[in-house]
């Protein structure tokens, strides 16, 4: 009885040795993502933001909160608004990418 169970266990181990590994050394190796994968991180650059709030308007879930005030700098510099608050509830984001497409 003991020898049969040992042989079965060893057989399972030998089968798994021939399979392709399903883990990788993450920083050095990365798994290939599907081309339609939408789980990328939301990246926002404060110095590039114009305060237009188009990302908040196009968000279907309404999870982006932007508070702006009119800018005192010259409109020739391209800054119409001064950004006071930019908040996004990333835990509720469905990664649709509409905010990124709407951003000028």
- Tens digit of each residue's pLDDT (9 = 90 or more) over 45-72: 888 888 888 999 999 999 999 998 887 7
For position 75, what pLDDT does the model report? Answer: 56
Please, are residues 85 and 67 in contact by the beta-carbon 8 Å criterion?
Answer: yes
Which residue has better confidence, 21 or 3? 3
Report the share of the chain in percent with pLDDT over 70.
92
pLDDT, average across residues 28-42 = 79
For position 9, what pLDDT does the model report? Answer: 92
If pLDDT is split at 50, 70 and 90, which confidence band does 4 have? very high
Q: Structural domain boundaries of the chain?
A: 2-32+39-102
Alpha helix stretches (DSSP H) within 1-104: 2-17, 54-58, 98-102
Residue 13, both tokens: 């181990």
CA distance 45 to 69: 18
Which residue has better confidence, 24 or 85? 85
CA distance 77 to 100: 23
If pLDDT is split at 50, 70 and 90, which confidence band does 10 have? very high
Any idea what DSSP says for residue 4? H
If pLDDT is split at 50, 70 and 90, which confidence band does 77 have? low
CA distance 15 to 8: 11
């Amino acid at each position: 009885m003991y020898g049969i169970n040992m042989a079965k266990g060893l057989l399972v181990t030998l089968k798994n040795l021939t399979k392709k590994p399903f883990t990788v050394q993450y920083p050095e190796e990365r798994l290939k993502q599907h081309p339609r994968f939408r789980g990328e991180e939301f990246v926002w650059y404060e110095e590039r933001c114009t305060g237009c709030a188009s990302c908040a308007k196009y968000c279907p879930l309404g999870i982006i909160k932007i508070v702006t005030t009119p800018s005192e700098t010259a409109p020739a510099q391209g800054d119409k608004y001064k950004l006071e608050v930019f908040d996004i509830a990333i835990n509720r984001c469905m990664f649709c990418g509409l905010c990124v497409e709407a951003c000028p």
